Chain A
Amino acid sequence: QQQVKQSPQSLIVQKGGISIINCAYENTAFDYFPWYQQFPGKGPALLIAIRPDVSEKKEGRFTISFNKSAKQFSLHIMDSQPGDSATYFCAASLNTGNQFYFGTGTSLTVIP
């Protein structure tokens, strides 16, 4: 079964707007929650990541919000730009293992 559930599947945002992508997980042993960005025909690249001991992490226009009690985390892209148009994946990894569990991805389109 899907260890990490991601929504929405696709998202269209106006330039300058806020893009929000949500993920939920069940396994409380997960201790690392990254977001990856993928452009067409390329491999994903790490965008930003968070650990469960903090509720928010911000890097430039990208922010992760983490709600440990709800077992949810989200990516916020402020002032969205057409260059942000890509597929975004959330993921989680266990504190005792080497596997990463990915969400199903969100295709973001930012229209000028």
Chain B
Amino acid sequence: DGGITQSPKYLFRKEGQNVTLSCEQNLNHDAMYWYRQDPGQGLRLIYYSQIVNDFQKGDIAEGYSVSREKKESFPLTVTSAQKNPTAFYLCASRTARGTGGADTNANEKLFFGSGTQLSVL
């Protein structure tokens, strides 16, 4: 079964602690994304990566870090510098632009994981 797996589903962070959220995909997608979801604010981009060993900051990168050592993995670390980490975190992936063949919409489709709910103890 192809898809995106996020773990854990629920995570609790103590003050001053760094925590890492896992995201793994077996869709052979080049681009991967991390979004934060807060009630009434939609999805806000934290980081994204288009290829291995490269990533860019999104709109709300402060207090977060990522790595992309393997194509299928894009872990997100919520550092102690993130003062309000309680949120639902979503990982997503898609193919690179221009690889969708005749269907120009195919490479635009974002596939999302089931999310990780992070709460502060």
Contacts and interface: CB of A to CB of B under 8 A. Distances in A.
Interface of A: 6, 9, 32, 34, 36, 41-46, 49, 51, 89, 93, 98-100, 102-105
Given A42-B115, A43-B115, A44-B112, A103 B90 contact: no
A103 B43 CA distance: 8
Contacts of A105: 40, 42
Contacts of B115: 41-43
A19 B114 CA distance: 26
Contact of B90 (A32, A43, A49, A104): A43
A99 B97 contact: no
Given A42-B115, A49-B105, A104 B48 contact: no
Interface of B: 4, 6, 31, 33, 35, 40-45, 48, 50, 58, 90, 92, 97, 104-105, 108-110, 112-115, 117
Given A98-B31, A98-B48, A46 B41 contact: no
Given A43-B92, A44-B90, A100 B42 contact: no
Contact of A104 (B42, B97, B114): B42
A12 B26 CA distance: 38
Contacts of A44: 43, 90, 110, 112
Contact of B114 (A34, A43, A49, A100): A43
Nearest to B43: A102
7 contacts: A9-B40, A34-B110, A43-B4, A43-B113, A89-B42, A89-B43, A104-B41
Contacts, number: 57
Contacts of B40: 9, 104-105
Nearest to B9: A41
Contacts of B35: 102
B108 A99 contact: no
Contact of A102 (B42, B97, B104): B42
